[in-house]
Chains A and B, each alone.
Chain A
């Protein structure tokens, strides 16, 4: 690369950074704040997650109890702080597993083509046609009572819900990569399918997969919370946010802070990741459709 080329490349990169949407910066700061809370929450929380008698039950929000006190006299703010790392870890683990399974299936399907591709496509279509919440509920039911309420079940549920959707995306992204000469060359060289997928398809589909991963990670906390809220997620007394909202939902008209507090934590995390995703997609020149939940 000539010096002139390098210079334009660098100034291009600089201008791209300057042009980074404000939303991305705000989102990134909010995500960092959430990660910080997840890391230090348990050490700075004023009360323990299950500590009872911390205040008068159902008392309104105050400086001592910013999110109020629940029926058992537990401080909701402390419970939200303790729940943060649970929500974030489960979301991250579930989405990562879904990404691994989904991109492996999608890329392999695009690479092999033919009958296998046709079969995989039909199966993906079938899995996607079960609304995501319903598919998750089906998975919870199929896992049986042994796994129910375990955190690992939530990781599996998210992976099962996301894998077909990510596979569809990965396949679409890989379809025009597999027609490239270097893939044909690798194929003719006699490279193994997995080697081609890992060395040629994966790096070239990475920006699509990254946006997809960010988008899915953003909705994972909402999905975990929905299952917690319905009573199919992690077991009480885990301070998972959806579970907190469900525990306190009868108090919503008496002590709204006990529901709105965990709700704000959940919504702000999802908003933050979504804003980052939108910015990331714009920087990478990808379109992102926030409606494809």
Chain B
């Protein structure tokens, strides 16, 4: 039964991805009118326009183009970038690796940043500490991510003098340069995610702490720390995982702007550059990839919920 539910959920995810590919193709290749003019500008020569139309197969009917594009994607043929004329797989590969390293670092930083304030608030609920942290997280939740990036920049560079203002990485950079370049964007992403997670986790933890078995543990005379860490926290893991999966969906879009702010050579800044230069094939693949991440994260959250929460399982009557 569970397996059927999971398979069903995977099917809807596949349908969603398919629809996204139609939306992306329509938005990039059909809506802007003549793609060649849109890419090369209004004063482009006739020959250049014809050459580009041939390269992008613009003389073929849209449905045929879409199917060819989809077929190419399905066996890893992503075409060539219009800007650099390099195969997109060559450009994309290292960028994806960079972004994965960035996201992983952000996630590692995120867990303690979310859990510690949430636990403190739940334990000292309705006291001064809780109110201060609640107000603080509400304010921070309202700070847009690119502004959070700049605030952290001022804090770490001007106030604490911990990091250099600009870190450029290239293929030959040593590990230290790499870590420095990674630190600020990772910290920004982690902060944005942690603020949301802390707010939701606090409420979840308070609910758990009110549960009869926790009260019982307290009455048995267990120390406060033991009650929280041994009894309450394990039951707050499911919501934490859920919130983390939600945060992964934030990450799918969040890396775009945060990477751009710090000039981090990842997948997100590649997308922005592709849109700036109207690099049609590159826009399509980057947008599709970020949606894939979003859809996968949602799928992961739902499947995890099915496995972790017995209430969602259909009853075996």
A260 to chain B, nearest CB (A): 7
Residues of A within 8 A of B (CB): 23, 122-123, 125-127, 129-134, 137-145, 218, 222, 225-226, 229-232, 242, 245, 249, 252-253, 256, 259-260, 263, 266-267, 270-271, 274-275, 278, 290-291, 293
Minimal Cβ-Cβ distance residue in A for B137: A290
Interface membership of B236, Cβ < 8 A: no
Taking CB atoms, residues of chain B closer than 8 Å to A291 are 141, 196, 199-200, 243, 246, 250
CA–CA, A291 and B239, complex, Å: 14
Do A123 and B260 have beta carbons less than 8 Å apart? no
Taking CB atoms, residues of chain A closer than 8 Å to B28 are 138, 141-142
Complex partner residue of A226 from B20, B142, B257, B294, CB under 8 angstroms: B257
CA–CA, A231 and B261, complex, Å: 12
3 A-B pairs closest in CB distance: A131-B253, A126-B19, A222-B144
Interface membership of B27, Cβ < 8 A: yes
Known A122-B19, A138-B28; contact A130-B138, beta-carbon cutoff 8 A: no
Known A129-B298, A139-B27, A230-B260; contact A144-B271, beta-carbon cutoff 8 A: no
A228 to chain B, nearest CB (A): 10
Complex partner residue of B295 from A127, A129, A229, CB under 8 angstroms: A129
- Interface residue count on the B side (C-beta < 8 Å): 58
B283 to chain A, nearest CB (A): 6
Residues of B within 8 A of A (CB): 12, 15-17, 19-20, 22-24, 27-28, 31-33, 38, 41-42, 138-139, 141-147, 150-151, 153-154, 157-158, 165, 196, 199-200, 243, 246, 249-250, 252-254, 256-257, 260, 271-272, 275-276, 278, 283, 287, 290-291, 294-295, 298
CB contacts between A and B, total, < 8 Å: 151
Q: Is the interface of B mostly helix, strand, loop or mixed?
A: helix
Do B157 and A253 have beta carbons less than 8 Å apart? yes
Known A122-B16, A259-B150, A290-B199; contact A267-B139, beta-carbon cutoff 8 A: yes
CA–CA, A75 and B295, complex, Å: 45
Taking CB atoms, residues of chain B closer than 8 Å to A266 are 144, 147
Do A263 and B147 have beta carbons less than 8 Å apart? yes
Do A226 and B144 have beta carbons less than 8 Å apart? yes
Do B196 and A290 have beta carbons less than 8 Å apart? yes
CA–CA, A275 and B15, complex, Å: 38
